[in-house]
Amino acid sequence: MIDVAVIGAGVVGCAAARALSRYSLAVCVLEKASDVAEGTSKANSGIVHAGYDALPGSQKARYNARGSALFPKLAAELDVPYRRSGSLVVGFSADDSGRLEKLMDHGKANGIEGLELLDGDGARAICPQLSEKVACALYAKTAAVVCPYELTLAFAENAAHNGVQFRFDTGVLGIDRMADGYRLRLSTGEQLEARAVVNAAGLYADEINNMVSARKLKIIARKGEYCLFDRMAEAVTALTIFQMPTAMGKGVLVTQTADGNLLVGPNAMDVQDKDDTETTREGLDYVLKTAALSVGPLPERQIITSFAGLRAHLETDDFEIGEAPDAEGFFNAAGIESPGLSSAPAIGEELARCVAARLSAQPNPDFDPIRHGIPKFREMDNADRARLIAENPAYGRVVCRCETVTEAEIVEAIRRPLGATTLDGIKRRTRAGMGRCQSGFCTTRVLEILERELRAPRETLTKFGKGSELLTSVRH
């Protein structure tokens, strides 16, 4: 029997795993996909919200404020791209101006600092791309952008470094209560016994909860679609630009991702199928049209990809965090939609604290908070580049030309703990294939390296796990 089973290797599960590794506990993360961050964590806005938006007193307000405050130190410890670029909520009328004041009041009640109301010209002075129609804005200085999948990876890698086990391609089919814990029935046919369970199953957190607790949850998948533009898009704004929030969420934003691309989206549409991440013509058109209200017409020719993510929305419209009232040792992190990414560090911290208290765990004296990312050749100066190539010639072989990713970085992405086994895994760890040609050039070269490093025949390699094989056969 292990101490803690964490279900789900998204940003919340991995944040919890890393926080749990601060204690002397045997922890195992179970993930049904083949890699971390394969669900909502890979397809979202990548924003660390300042925290003015959530209703004062809500779980969302509490965790957002705490999470946002944890980020600067966390990003430094985990070597994750993070930038406090600030945000603006823009309004177009006198009505909007009143609503912005209300948001500002929320912010103050939530304990958020660095908020300021601006008129249209004041807003345009700090963000020249704003449309002339913008009449007022709420400026939040502490809003930031972070790379969401690199953050998830970093949590996971640091957790693994501190002793947490990860099992991929391992879903949880059922949970049985035992006298001193839980027995998890796994999709691999095995069983795993754990004294405590952390449910961070994202869109499926309701199903996992309902296996154990009589207090049923229902999660609605709320789709959000995005368009991602090339780095050089002239419309790229330094700050994140929101429109007025609605009942369905924070509305369509315009932002510069942590990696420098222009990103616009999301819309919000409830869908039946929790695996439905298909983009739609209507959705993408809506997102582009709505974003243009904030910043004027967008350079649509410079779109390099579009994608959709699913929010795990609870009917209560708030996070469900903590021990289930009728299941001792079973902890939920359910309904983690926006500001989920911003809150993840705080949710992880809180869950670990609760689990440790329940299990009377001692601190882990060997905990090491530091994680080093893969050195990024594209960001180095020439002296460092020359030095690295001298040490390892594979740094001199550029595999992804759009993002200047070298063979050495790809090899390291495969060889490091929780290494990449798929094309998308390489992409999220190194950015190979994320540039303007969208992997047209490097796919074949990355497959070659994966085959060599994993000693797996090329035709078995996948984009993101079993069923997504890239090649159908060897040509005869």
Provide, rounded to whole angstroms, the least separation between the CB of residue 137 and other proteins: 29
Using only C-alpha atoms, the chain has a radius of gyration, in whole angstroms, of 22
Contact assessment for residue 112 and residue 140, using Cβ atoms and an 8 Å cutoff: yes
Nearer to other proteins (CB atom), residue 215 or residue 289: 289
Angle at CA of residue 457, ends 456 and 459, nearest 5°: 125
The yes or no reply on residue 224 touching other proteins (CB under 8 A) is: no
Question: Looking at beta carbons only, is 274 or 358 nearer to other proteins?
Answer: 274
Phi, psi of 39 (to 5 degrees): -110, -125
Report the alpha-carbon distance of residue 207 to residue 425 in Å, rounded: 27
| Site for other proteins, residues 429 to 448, rule: CB under 8 A | 436-441, 443-444, 447-448
Neighbouring C-beta atoms of residue 26, cutoff 10 Å: 15
Cα–Cα distance measured from residue 420 to residue 129, given in angstroms and rounded to the nearest whole number: 38
> In which region does residue 369 sit, left (phi positive, over 0), alpha (psi from -120 to 50) or beta (all else)?
alpha
Distances (CA, A) of 121 to 79, 118, 130, 253: 37, 8, 9, 20
Query: Is there binding between residue 475 and other proteins (CB under 8 A)?
Result: yes
Q: Does the protein bind other proteins through residue 389 (CB under 8 A)? A: yes
Active site residue 313: no
Cα(187)–Cα(11) distance, integer angstroms = 22
Q: Which of 192, 227, 235, 432 binds other proteins (CB under 8 A)?
A: 227
- Picking from 291, 241, 309, 273, the residue whose alpha carbon sits closest to that of residue 90 is 241
The candidate with the shortest Cα–Cα distance to 163, out of 29, 36, 34, 12, is 29
Instruction: Considering only residues 261 through 300, tell me which ones interact with other proteins, judged by CB under 8 A.
Output: 275, 277-281, 283-284, 300
CB of 61 or CB of 233, closer to other proteins: 233
* Contact residue for other proteins among 1, 232, 370, 456 (CB under 8 A): 232
Name the nearest CA neighbour of 346 among 4, 11, 10.
Answer: 11
End-to-end CA distance of the chain: 50
15 versus 263: smaller Cβ distance to other proteins: 263
Residues 6+ apart with CB under 8 A from 79: 154, 371, 372, 373
C-beta closer to other proteins: residue 1 or 386 = 386
| Residue 458 binds other proteins, judged by CB under 8 A | yes
Min dist CB 241 to other proteins, Å, is: 21
Does 216 engage in binding with other proteins (CB under 8 A)?
Answer: no
Residue range at the interface with other proteins (CB under 8 A); choices 194-202, 291-299, 304-312, 360-368:
304-312
Smallest separation, CB 46 to other proteins (Å): 17
Q: Which of 396, 419, 453, 454 binds other proteins (CB under 8 A)?
A: 396
| Binder among 246, 272, 360, 382 for other proteins (CB under 8 A) | 382
Nearer to other proteins, 90 or 227 (CB): 227
Which alpha helices (DSSP H) does 120-253 contain, by range?
120-126, 148-161, 205-210
d(CA 52, CA 64): 9
Q: Which is nearer to other proteins, 167 or 436 (CB)?
A: 436
According to CB under 8 A, which one of 30, 118, 228, 314 is a site residue for other proteins?
228
Query: In terms of CB distance, is 362 or 444 closer to other proteins?
Result: 444
111 Cβ contact list (under 8 Å, min separation 6): 51, 65
Nearest distance in Å: CB 227, other proteins: 7
| Least distance between other proteins and beta carbon 187 (Å) | 16
**Which span sits near other proteins by CB under 8 A: 65-73, 84-92, 301-309, 356-364?**
301-309
Q: Is residue 368 a contact partner of residue 161, using CB atoms and an 8 Å limit?
A: yes
According to the binding rule CB under 8 A, does residue 462 interact with other proteins? Answer: yes
Does 393 bind other proteins (CB under 8 A)? Our answer is yes
Q: Which of 177, 306, 322, 364 binds other proteins (CB under 8 A)?
A: 306
What span, in angstroms and rounded, lies between the C-alpha atoms of 266 and 286? Answer: 9
- Binding residues vs other proteins (CB under 8 A): 227-228, 232, 275, 277-281, 283-284, 300-301, 303-307, 382, 385-386, 389-390, 393-398, 401-402, 404, 436-441, 443-444, 447-448, 458-459, 462-475
Q: Which residues have a catalytic role annotated?
A: 49
